[in-house]
Amino acid sequence: MVNHLSDQIGTQVSCDVFGIPRSSYYYKPADRDDLPNKRKLPDFAYSIQERNNILNVMNSAIYMDQTPYEIYAAQLDNGNYLCSVSTMYRILTENDQVKERRQVKRSNNYQKPELLAKGSNEVWSWDITKLKGPQKWTYFYLYVIMDIFSRLVVGWMVSYRELSSLAQKLIRETCERQNIEAGQLTIHADRGSSMRSKQVAFLLSDLGVTKSHSRPYVSNDNPFSESQFKTMKYRPDFPK
């Protein structure tokens, strides 16, 4: 529109009418369609073949578990210059290989257990705690299974030892007494030896009970049993 009116009333007046600065009217963006999309590689850049050779050396049996710093130093000790450390990392990044190169156990991302009980006998929590005996160096082991919805202790047992066979017996008898059906119940526990034993795992599988465990090195993933034991042991009449 400014072009049509500029011949009649002038460019400045036309721009004022449409509220356009005169400098914006005269400004024309540079046509960049003819510019290359990618930056031109320097003449001294490594070719594709050279980069593949560097990657093959880093992934060879000798260097496959070493870092670029170690590979760089080893190559210099052998009188060879492969490339700089930063170039090694750049080539590894292009091939999605920037990670732990050693053959080590990968850590698992354990999800926080979140169990919801809308009624009784849907989710149980069980644990084992040590109790002092009447004499020095004597102990008892208290096995307790609690329903987290009603907070009712549905099963318990005291023994001189902590054994997975005893835990298996307690869980089986408690499920029979509560008439637990397959697919009805989830049992949560920490990662103790009895809780993760094969005997208990096979029993829960046979009964159709889902098992749940706390995350490794997380002490508060089984708060129901832990708080129950603390309440019991902190009572004034609890034996010292």
Q: Are 88 and 111 in contact (CB under 8 A)?
A: no
Topology of domain 123-233, CATH: Nucleotidyltransferase; domain 5 (3.30.420)
Would you write out the chain's pLDDT as a tens digit for each of its 240 residues?
Answer: 667 777 777 888 888 887 888 787 777 555 555 555 667 777 788 889 999 999 999 999 898 888 899 999 999 999 999 999 999 999 999 998 887 766 666 666 666 667 888 999 999 999 999 998 888 889 999 999 999 999 999 999 999 999 999 999 999 999 999 999 999 999 999 988 999 999 999 999 999 999 998 888 777 778 889 898 999 999 888 877
Q: How far apart are CA 74 and CA 136, in angstroms?
A: 61
- Can you give the pTM of this predicted structure? 0.55
Pinpoint the residues of the chain covered by CATH 3.30.420.10.
Answer: 123-233
State how far the Cα of 17 lies from the Cα of 111, in Å rounded to an integer: 65
Rounded Cα distance, 167 and 211, in Å = 14
> Percent helix, strand, coil in the chain (nearest 5)?
35, 15, 50
